[in-house]
Structure 1
Amino acid sequence: MIARRGNAKLAPVSFARDTPARSLEDQLAEIVQEVPLRGEAAERRRLDEIEAARQKRIRWEAAMDEARVQYAEVLALVFQAA
């Protein structure tokens, strides 16, 4: 079974059971080690998303500045022709 959170796939999940091959304690130890790793990965994704949004805003602001300059140039040409 694959665990899901939203659209993201997480690692395969097996239902905890005591088996001769792996005890419940061994499985729990593995889970305890994995929790902080997943937290760190989630934090990296969150920070990446924040940075992507910041870069998008910078590009938008630059495009708006360029549009203002072009608009002012067009207006100057229109008023010179009049």
Structure 2
Amino acid sequence: MWYPGLITDKNGPQLVVKFMLRTRTAGTFVWPARDDVQKVLPEFFIACGVVPECVNYGRQWFISDHVKLDELFQMYKNMYFETDL
């Protein structure tokens, strides 16, 4: 599963990212009540420069390219995380 986020800082080779949460509606995300901040290596980014559209006065955000990002994530996941046992 992929999640959009905002890069807030750089910590050595890692980037500090504040992540959004998915809603039940495909492509729609919200900022969580408590910040979800994690350090992420750049090779785990599937896209940069994605700007969501505000759909509910800053409470909900829609990413129109979510289907394309789902496909990119699936390719990335198949390449790096799924193995034939």
User: Is TM > 0.5 for Structure 1 vs Structure 2?
Assistant: no
Larger radius of gyration: 1
Larger relative contact order, structure 1 or 2 (CA cutoff 8 Å, min sep 6): 2
TM-score (norm 2): 0.30
Q: How high is the TM-score relative to the length of structure 1?
A: 0.31
